[in-house]
Amino acid sequence: MKYYLLFGPPGAGKGTQAKLLVEKFNFHHVSTGDLLRKEIAKGSELGLKAKTLIDAGNFVDDSIVVGMIESEIAANPDASGFLFDGFPRTVAQAEILDKMLEGKGSQVNKVISIIISDEMVFQRIQHRANIEGRKDDADPKTIQNRIDTYHAKTEPLIEYYKPQGKYNEICGEGTVVEIFEKISSLL
Ligand code: ADP
């Protein structure tokens, strides 16, 4: 089983690219953000816990997202491969993922990183706020908190994966098609 990670700041276009990649490569797409929003919509206990954190632009506990990832892997034994989007988001999550996959005789095969500037993150998220109505997209303070959290907690993953030879970086400021072609050529 192959495991690919889509990495990058909020608004980098991970969700957009994931949809296209799933059509082309038939991966099973797992977005922890989408899974959490589904729990919120259901009004589950997990969703209620997650909502306050997400709305403020903070991360949800590692144990919650790790549990969701484990369930997705277990529920899709026939997948041709997995495309994780928004996970791992901390070095601690990456370490847990490595152990989990090692137990299955697998590993992360490649990390595809889509990088855009902080200014572009702001612009894209403010634009998305009008389309998707996400509360965490609406308030500039929350957007700034997500950008700061990305730099502090998620960016260190670059140095985690680089020495393993798994890290591939793409500039996310081109057109959707251009970026899709670049990612496709890496997979
Ligand atoms: P974006 O890429 O725009 O930040 P996502 O949909 O990936 O949006 O995530 C939305 C929110 O869900 C995050 O800001 C965070 O609060 C929570 N979340 C998603 N994935 C994780 C994760 N792996 N660990 C902790 N929190 C997460």
pLDDT in tens, 97-129: 999 999 999 999 999 999 999 999 999 999 998
Region for residue 174 given its phi and psi (left: phi exceeds 0; alpha: psi -120 to 50; beta: otherwise)? beta
Predicted confidence (pLDDT) at residue 133 exceeds the cutoff of 90: no
9: nearest Cα among 113, 129, 160: 113
CA of 146 to the centre of ligand 1 (A): 9
Task: Output the pLDDT for position 130.
Answer: 87
The CATH code for residues 2-182 is 3.40.50.300
Q: Is the minimum distance from the CB of 65 to ligand 1 under 6 angstroms?
A: yes
7 lines ligand 1 (CB under 6 A): no
> Is the C-beta atom of 60 inside 6 A of ligand 1?
yes
Q: How far is the CA of 167 from the centre of ligand 1 (A)?
A: 20
pLDDT at residue 135 is higher than 90: no
C-alpha 37 – ligand 1 centre gap (Å): 9
Q: Is the Cβ–Cβ distance between 54 and 40 less than 8 Å?
A: yes
Decide whether any atom of ligand 1 lies within 6 Å of the 54 Cβ: yes
| 92 neighbors 160 (Cβ within 8 angstroms) | no
